[in-house]
Structure 1
Amino acid sequence: MIHFPNEHLDLECLDTRETVAEACARAGHPLDLVCGGTGRCGQCKILIKNHGITLEVLACQYPVFDEMEILTGAEARQQILDRHVDFDPLILDPPVRCFPVSFESLNLQNANAFLGSINAVLPLDLTCGNPDILIDGFEAVRKTPVPIVDVIAAVHETDPSAFVARSGTLLGVTPETDGFPEYGAAFDVGTTTVVGYLYNLESGDLCATASAKNRQAAYGADVISRIAAADDGKLTALNDAVCETLADLIQELCQKGGSLDKHQIISVVCCGNTTMLHLLAGISPKSLGAAPFVSQIDAPIEGPASRWHLDLHPAAQMTLLTPIASYIGSDTSALLAALPRRKETRLVIDLGTNAEIAVGQNGHYTVCSAPCGPALEGDGLTMGMRAADGAIEKTVYDPGTKRFHCQMIGDPPATGLCGSGVIDTIAALLDSGLIKPDGSFISDEAAAAHPNGSRLTRSGKIRQFVLLTSEENNGAPAVVLSQKDIRAIQLAKAAIQTAVDLLLKAASLSIEDIDTIYLAGAFGNYISVTSAQKIGLLPTGRMKIVPVGNGAGSGAIHCLLSTEAKKQTEAMAGQCTVINLTNDAEFNTQLVANTVLSPR
């Protein structure tokens, strides 16, 4: 038997090839496997007991055995919740939630008396957004809002029931026969990738995570191309694409969470860059594509989830968090609001298709956005790919043996390089002397005398470095990094470096004033800081560099679980000074100078 003492649960030990993570999922307590269970992120550590000895193991790799004790429950769940980043603890108080209630003691004479008697039995004061209309949860009137008196009658017939409320406003009622809706989902809607989290709103427990490529990618890789597509009559198609991405992820989250019923989801919270928010709201982003670059969204967008074609609980609500500015989205405000409150000067870099950068003290920030493109995530490169099985994620050069060593995700053969692998490979090429600080490969003459010169080849007119030959890659195609790929990384790196320099200047600070750099984004969580500093992507100095994973997603989770956190996130726009780099004459000048691959 496998024992879960904190859950008072025993499971039969069916297969010794089963991992601890798989056993936890079978027990109804799935762990959050950020790396997909490959063992590379080290984030699913959990305590087990073997004959009285407590061990900390990687749940996705460690096999189960008979009479094992797995310590899930409060200890394990706290570890999972904390893992998103070293955030301050939350008080669990979801903005959207359900309250079970019996109608035996309620006054059903009229709407005002009804609400008054509800307030007497529920742990909050309720108002009704529209005194005469409520979103209903009943089969007979499921598709049409009805007068409150009819809802009262329907509820009375299906007593006991539950009330759905958002921040003290009564939104609807639902009979208990529908199943108590106690789940919520938070999404970080990125240009390239959408990441989702499913939570139990009553306990604050994480049920599952999932990610998927944004289906809008069919209309372009960056926000500029999406804006152009929307302006070309494809706004509805773009809206449908991202809504379908959310719907698919919700289905996957429910399956991963233990075959949960999606109709028990009562709340959805989304953050994202400003263009993604416009497209998700079905609002034309045309004003974001030309001066003066004005956002059409200056408040949270809230409404029934059905408006976004999501088939959830009939009274489920969806919230799009407010962006800060035209190119500073609610992914940034969610991240900044969720970071721990400390007396420090901090630099926050959220690495993605667009890099959002902030520098601040005491909760006030100067922020900007740098258009670095998708190269840092592996997109658009000769053999670039997402961090998945087959991706080379780490490369080092051994000056003693003059050899390059690679580490990949999953089993051989390798099929490409993910973002962290590309950065490592460029740093290794600098170490080996095969490329110069200007990013160009050494000459053919110099290569002829270099111990690894034979790895410099050509594909047509494009020079490239062969990281793995076909023979070294188990007979699969060789893995290469081209001169064009290096140039793409140089431009992305230069955009970030220039943005940081100009942001510090605007805030009257220098890099020496920074105490901590918070590095957000999935790519930022796995990047080698040493390699990033070697090519000048990250600064060197006395400051701490703290990877915080998907900090924007963590901020969205906070807004899902905490009314106070949501208020703080919505207030963040007023605490930020926005710098528009498109109006800065220095940007293009410094951009060229900052393409040099060297520490700073």
Structure 2
Amino acid sequence: MYKFKSEALDKEISVGGNKSILEVFNQEGRAIYAPCGGKGTCGKCKVKVSGKINPLSDEESKLLTSQEISNGIRLACKTHAEGDIEVQLIEDKLTNGAKGKLGSGIQYAADPLICRKTEKLTAPTLDSGETVIDMLRGVLGAVKLDLNIIREISQKIDYTEEGSFVVWDNKIIDMAFGKTDNQLYGIAVDIGTTTVVCYLMDLRQGRQVGVSSMQNPQVGYGADVISRIQYTIENPEGLEILRTRIIRGIDLLIREVCEKTAVHKQDIYMGVFVGNTTMAHLFWGFDCSSLSRLPFNAVTQDMIVENSQNIGISNMNKNGRVIFLPGIAGFVGADTVGAMIAAELVNYDENSLLVDLGTNGEIVLSTSRGRYACSTAAGPAFEGARIKYGMQAFPGAIDHGAVEEDLEYTTIGDQPPRGICGSGLIDIVSGLLEAGVISEDGKIAEPEELKSSKLAGRIMKSGRTKEILIVDESLENNQSRITLTQKDIRELQLAKGAIRAGIDILLKVSGLTVDNVDRLLLAGAFGNFVNRESALKIGLFPDFHPDKIIPLGNAAGEGAKKALCSRAVLKEIALHYAQTTKHIEISSHPDFEKAFMEGMYFR
């Protein structure tokens, strides 16, 4: 056994055998970003290691630069201890707060499904013949009670003090006599494939009081849902491992937001959760195998309600209720329903196209003839995965770019460039396309074909392969080289082709054209930060006027907050969207292949 030390684990542990660093961190519940799920193909799970370890693997030799190797950088999935080691994560904290910063100043309805009522019970008399429950219903109405609450009331009943009763959907779930603070809070949780966000809401006032976010703790098992589904199929304990990871992660977020706001966990009585179909299955512990094969049917898309204690969430009131919004069908889940709630797709006189530019690429077309929805295998390219120097929107990520005489860029936090995030990728490709460095079919031009000597000098050739220099390496500033490869461009084309195919097929099914669409609504953090002109230039969307494109921010999270704060949204609108939206399986549509191939062109 060897000593394994890392500040990220806050402890020293013992490891043995050939267990990789990635496996050790996953076992300890500490996520390392590994989009390929530890297969050694993405090169993203970089860590700095000191001590005795196995020799450099072939995969590492290909994916790491000579400068990284000399600095002790290794891939966590391909490195194991052969003696005592110390591991330092490249990312100190895997958190992208962009989603949590969106929509924080909105005032919401204050009519939740839960309420706190304060009443003083009249002591019984000899002649009344009333039971304790009779008197309770006399002041609270025809409320329901389960056995545990009846037992608690029988033990705590006090006719000299006011009683505070928490009523959820006309059912008493908690009570106290004497002085109480009468606080009532809820949480709205958006379980994204990449990022999880927890919003703390004051349900009496309908306002957000705090937010916490983290990278989905399942990312160590793959960046996309297919990788995680496969993990649960290939590993007997895989489903329970991923379920435990997300439950513990959410519990940690609740604790963090309570600490930041000085709210006591006992005052959190309700939670509304959203996530795509796979995230819902992993949260509830449902077998995911049906999602891995045709016809990709879910175990259930129903709204599910459960006691927080039964799920394993400890940082809520033990009697609190957790509600997962309903989904639609296939991979179009509760997060899409949440986005529809936020977009308020209730105006049948208006044709609206709602697009979530995430790994699943959910699309909804709302028309006077009905609503249609689909999911597309856009993949995680928009979030930096499968891009050689791609990264999420962390400090140092190139987030915007432009091409004039030469390529210019900005980084998040004005930090030294460390990689390219999705919005930066769109900007850079758009600029290079306009400058002729990249053609409509995605090919990188030959240097001699360009008029600009500066741009020509950015094209690097090695045999038959070409890549474009974005940032040159600098030993003085400890700056690693960042390039855009031909494979990176193809990954973007594949993601773009999937989105365009989904849009085009929904329009065809509905009998509409692009000219009939009144507005294009972009959901998700990426949709909020992407440059609309750049997205239009590469043909990510059809030829809309930029003024028709409206970013909604984290629409799924906003929808969860609205459902949390409004009983009508939760019990009527959410179910209406889920039940009346027609799911279109675009991969089986006869025009899919043609639409996908045409959608890959940058035009």
TM bucket (normalised to shorter chain) is 0.7 to 0.9
Contact 1:200 1:207 in 2 (8 A): yes
Question: What are the equivalent positions in structure 2 for 1:170-181 lying under 5 Å apart?
Answer: 170-174=172-176, 180-181=182-183
Structure 2 letter corresponding to 1:416: G
SS in 1 for 2:457: helix
Among residues 417, 426, 429, which one is paired with 1:426 in the alignment?
A: 429
SS in 2 for 1:498: helix
Query: Which residue of 2 is the match for residue 391 of structure 1?
Result: 397
Structure 2 letter corresponding to 1:354: N
SS in 1 for 2:375: strand
SS in 1 for 2:239: helix
Contact 1:111 1:149 in 2 (8 A): no
Contact 1:185 1:267 in 2 (8 A): yes
Contact 1:110 1:149 in 2 (8 A): no
Among residues 324, 343, 364, which one is paired with 1:320 in the alignment?
A: 324
SS in 1 for 2:317: coil
Gaps of 5+ in 1: 1-32, 45-78, 83-89, 135-147
Query: Which residue of 1 is the match for residue 106 of structure 2?
Result: 81
Structure 2 letter corresponding to 1:353: T
Once residues 109 and 385 of structure 1 are traced to their aligned partners in structure 2, the CA distance between those partners, rounded to angstroms, is 75
Contact 2:398 2:410 in 1 (8 A): yes
CA displacement at 1:261 relative to structure 2? 2.2
Once residues 379 and 211 of structure 1 are traced to their aligned partners in structure 2, the CA distance between those partners, rounded to angstroms, is 20
Contact 1:107 1:114 in 2 (8 A): no
Once residues 111 and 281 of structure 1 are traced to their aligned partners in structure 2, the CA distance between those partners, rounded to angstroms, is 46
**2:519 aligned with 1:494, yes or no?**
no
SS in 1 for 2:295: coil
Contact 1:181 1:266 in 2 (8 A): no
CA displacement at 1:450 relative to structure 2? 4.0
- The CA deviation string for residues 433-454 of structure 1, in whole angstroms up to 9 with x for no partner, is 1111111111244369743111
Once residues 472 and 366 of structure 1 are traced to their aligned partners in structure 2, the CA distance between those partners, rounded to angstroms, is 54
Once residues 331 and 417 of structure 1 are traced to their aligned partners in structure 2, the CA distance between those partners, rounded to angstroms, is 26
Among residues 500, 503, 508, which one is paired with 2:511 in the alignment?
A: 508
Query: Which residue of 2 is the match for residue 86 of structure 1?
Result: none
Structure 2 letter corresponding to 1:437: E
CA, structure 1 residues 414+150, in 2 after alignment: closer, same or farther (shift >3 Å)? closer
Among residues 126, 136, 160, which one is paired with 1:118 in the alignment?
A: 136
Query: Which residue of 1 is the match for residue 71 of structure 2?
Result: none
Query: Which residue of 2 is the match for residue 22 of structure 1?
Result: none
CA displacement at 1:177 relative to structure 2? 6.8
Among residues 587, 593, 598, which one is paired with 2:592 in the alignment?
A: 587
Once residues 389 and 190 of structure 2 are traced to their aligned partners in structure 1, the CA distance between those partners, rounded to angstroms, is 26
**2:455 aligned with 1:452, yes or no?**
yes
**2:370 aligned with 1:368, yes or no?**
no
- The CA deviation string for residues 293-326 of structure 1, in whole angstroms up to 9 with x for no partner, is 2221242111111122111212111111111112
Greater CA drift, 539-548 or 423-432: 539-548
- The CA deviation string for residues 412-433 of structure 1, in whole angstroms up to 9 with x for no partner, is 3111111101100100111221
CA displacement at 1:359 relative to structure 2? 0.7
CA, structure 1 residues 108+505, in 2 after alignment: closer, same or farther (shift >3 Å)? farther
CA, structure 1 residues 114+570, in 2 after alignment: closer, same or farther (shift >3 Å)? farther
Among residues 531, 554, 560, which one is paired with 1:556 in the alignment?
A: 560
Once residues 437 and 472 of structure 1 are traced to their aligned partners in structure 2, the CA distance between those partners, rounded to angstroms, is 36
Among residues 514, 520, 524, which one is paired with 2:523 in the alignment?
A: 520
Once residues 208 and 119 of structure 1 are traced to their aligned partners in structure 2, the CA distance between those partners, rounded to angstroms, is 35
Contact 2:162 2:177 in 1 (8 A): yes
Question: What are the equivalent positions in structure 2 for 1:33-182 lying under 5 Å apart?
Answer: 35=98, 80-81=105-106, 90-104=108-122, 113-122=131-140, 125-128=142-145, 130=146, 132-134=147-149, 148-156=150-158, 159-174=161-176, 180-182=182-184
Structure 2 letter corresponding to 1:360: S
* RMSD, aligned α-carbons: 2.9
SS in 2 for 1:156: coil
Structure 2 letter corresponding to 1:209: V
Structure 1 letter corresponding to 2:117: F
CA displacement at 1:371 relative to structure 2? 1.1
Structure 2 letter corresponding to 1:289: S
When the two structures are aligned, how many residues end up with a matched partner?
Answer: 501
Once residues 414 and 195 of structure 1 are traced to their aligned partners in structure 2, the CA distance between those partners, rounded to angstroms, is 26
CA displacement at 1:150 relative to structure 2? 4.8
**2:193 aligned with 1:191, yes or no?**
yes
**2:538 aligned with 1:535, yes or no?**
yes
Query: Which residue of 2 is the match for residue 469 of structure 1?
Result: 472
Gaps of 5+ in 2: 1-95
CA, structure 1 residues 509+151, in 2 after alignment: closer, same or farther (shift >3 Å)? same
CA, structure 1 residues 356+319, in 2 after alignment: closer, same or farther (shift >3 Å)? same
CA displacement at 1:406 relative to structure 2? 1.0
Query: Which residue of 1 is the match for residue 249 of structure 2?
Result: 245
CA, structure 1 residues 155+416, in 2 after alignment: closer, same or farther (shift >3 Å)? farther
CA displacement at 1:214 relative to structure 2? 0.9
Contact 1:293 1:326 in 2 (8 A): yes
Contact 2:109 2:562 in 1 (8 A): no
- The CA deviation string for residues 124-168 of structure 1, in whole angstroms up to 9 with x for no partner, is 64223x4x343xxxxxxxxxxxxx145322243995442222221
Greater CA drift, 466-475 or 282-291: 466-475
SS in 1 for 2:556: helix
Contact 1:224 1:289 in 2 (8 A): yes
Once residues 172 and 229 of structure 1 are traced to their aligned partners in structure 2, the CA distance between those partners, rounded to angstroms, is 40
Aligned-residue identity in percent: 31
Once residues 477 and 110 of structure 1 are traced to their aligned partners in structure 2, the CA distance between those partners, rounded to angstroms, is 84
CA, structure 1 residues 388+112, in 2 after alignment: closer, same or farther (shift >3 Å)? farther
